[in-house]
Amino acid sequence: MAKLEEKEISKKIIFEGRLLKVRVDTVKLQSGVEATREVVEHPGAVAVIAITQDDELVLVRQFRQPAGEVLIEIPAGVPEKNEAGEAAARRELEEETGYYAKNIKKVWAGYSSPGYSSEVIQFFLATDMNLMKQHPDEDEFVEVELVDIDACLDLLKTGQINDNKTMIGILIADLARKGEL
């Protein structure tokens, strides 16, 4: 076994939900000791850094049950079965905000919390947009807000934005407008 790797002894599925699976895995460490790992299996997500012609970022406000509060976030969601990341990003952007992006490209992908979850978020940069009509999922209520990128940086600094993917989205938007991406 390669250095740093852990040998899997067993996987026990505890819960199979609509979105999540939860497992408790037993692994053998390099030292020979056995340890357990609590793992959430998540199908992965897409997030959209959507920038208007006026250098505004498209943000959404929505209530998040796990947080127990309304958060300001970049548009995001989970791809449908067999749906490619780019198609999912276009769809989520349009459903949640009403914007159709003529130009969309993947700029990055990262684990949201690899200590316990398999979720990878794919980040897309969307530009050259037309405003169509918002049509969120029937179990989703979102408010759309256009915020200048400098004002977004202020929202980060004053603690009004506290979502990691949105932090990444704002910093990427800032790099993109400076041509540093």
Q: Beta partners for 40?
A: 22, 117
Whether residue 80 lies in the annotated active site = no
The torsion defined by the Cα of 80, 85, 89 and 90, in degrees rounded to 10, comes to -90
Return the residue of 84, 114, 132, 151 that touches a second copy, per CB under 8 A.
114
Tokens representing 135? 């049509």
The footprint of a second copy on residues 117-176 (CB under 8 A) is 117-121, 138-139, 141-143, 156, 159, 161-168, 171
Q: Does the footprint of a second copy cover residue 18 (CB under 8 A)?
A: yes
Residues 28 and 30: their CA atoms lie apart, in Å, by 7
In the complex, minimum distance from the CB of residue 175 to a second copy, in angstroms, rounded to a whole number: 8
Cα-based distances in Å from 146 to 67, 72, 101: 23, 11, 15
Out of 34, 92, 95, 138, the active site residue is 138
CA angle 56, 150, 128 (to 5 degrees): 20
Q: Which of residues 46-105 bind a second copy (CB under 8 A)?
A: 61-68, 70-71, 73, 76, 78
Per the listing, tokens 């976030």 go with 73
Which of these ranges, 29-37, 49-57, 94-102, 127-135, lies near a second copy under the rule CB under 8 A?
29-37
Q: Please identify, using beta-carbon distances, which residue of 51 and 77 lies nearer to a second copy.
A: 77
**Could you give the residue numbers annotated as active site?**
138
